[in-house]
Amino acid sequence: MIRAFLAIELPAALRVGLAQVQEELKKSRADVRWVAPGNIHLTLKFFGNVPDDEIEALAQAAREAAAETAPLQLQATSTGAFPSPNAPRVVWLGLGGDIIPLTQLFYRLEKAFAALGYPPEGRAFNPHLTLGRVKSPANRERLARLLAKLPPVDWPPFEVKELILFQSVLSPQGSKYTPLKVIPLG
């Protein structure tokens, strides 16, 4: 079994900015498990544990869905939180740019994977980069105030030319992601 997910990898320059945003939010001293900047990506589908012999079928389904989407331009926008900025549980950075074609790609992927027995997410697609997960109420109000005050980021857009099917290996030191398949767009 392979713990797998499909995602968009981020450029190194963007990771530097993500780390800076995290450092700013850490000033709240909220009890947050921050995602290592090197592990932040735009997840399109988390599969969980997949039998080894199904990886190629997932990659092929992704290839067929991705072939209909031209390369995308995405851009980081501003911070937010689920379920709401006033009660943060997941802290994220939003994305803008080619969101309509990205959303269309997402739903094509969901349909293709559903045909292979991987049910759709069950909630609307909201493209974001997870920065951290709140572990307890400690200083959560302070984090919410900091989120409200942070200005939108003004970083250059980045081009997305491929999707990556990753293997995720969990360890006490954190998750380690290994690319299994690279799926080109267009």
Looking at residues 171-178, what average pLDDT do you find?
A: 87
Distance, in Å, from the CA atom of 25 to the CA atom of 3, rounded to the nearest integer, reads 30
Whether 41 is catalytic: yes
Contacts of 144 (CB under 8 A, 6+ apart): 81, 85, 86, 87, 88
List, for residues 8-64, the tens digit of each pLDDT value: 999 999 999 999 999 999 999 999 999 999 999 999 999 999 999 999 999 999 999
Question: Pick the catalytic residue: 5, 21, 30, 41?
Answer: 41
Here the tokens at position 184 are 């080109």
Distance, in Å, from the CA atom of 180 to the CA atom of 84, rounded to the nearest integer, reads 34
Whether 128 is catalytic: yes
pLDDT value at residue 131 = 97
pLDDT category, 175, cuts 50, 70, 90?
Answer: confident
Looking at residues 126-149, what average pLDDT do you find?
A: 95
Residue 127 has pLDDT above 90, yes or no: yes
Q: Most distant CA pair in the chain: distance in Å?
A: 48
Residue 153 has pLDDT above 90, yes or no: yes
pLDDT value at residue 172 = 83
**Class of the domain covering 2-184:** alpha beta
Q: What is the pTM of this model?
A: 0.93
Looking at residues 88-98, what average pLDDT do you find?
A: 97
Q: Phi and psi dihedrals of 52, rounded to 5? A: -50, -40
Q: Are 186 and 67 in contact (CB under 8 A)?
A: yes
pLDDT value at residue 25 = 97
Question: Pick the catalytic residue: 108, 128, 140, 181?
Answer: 128
Determine which helix (DSSP H) or strand (DSSP E) holds 119, and give its type and residue range.
Answer: none
Residue 150 has pLDDT above 90, yes or no: yes
Smallest CA-to-CA distance from 94 within 108, 114, 82, 79 is with: 79
Looking at residues 79-106, what average pLDDT do you find?
A: 96
The mean of the pLDDT values for the chain is 95
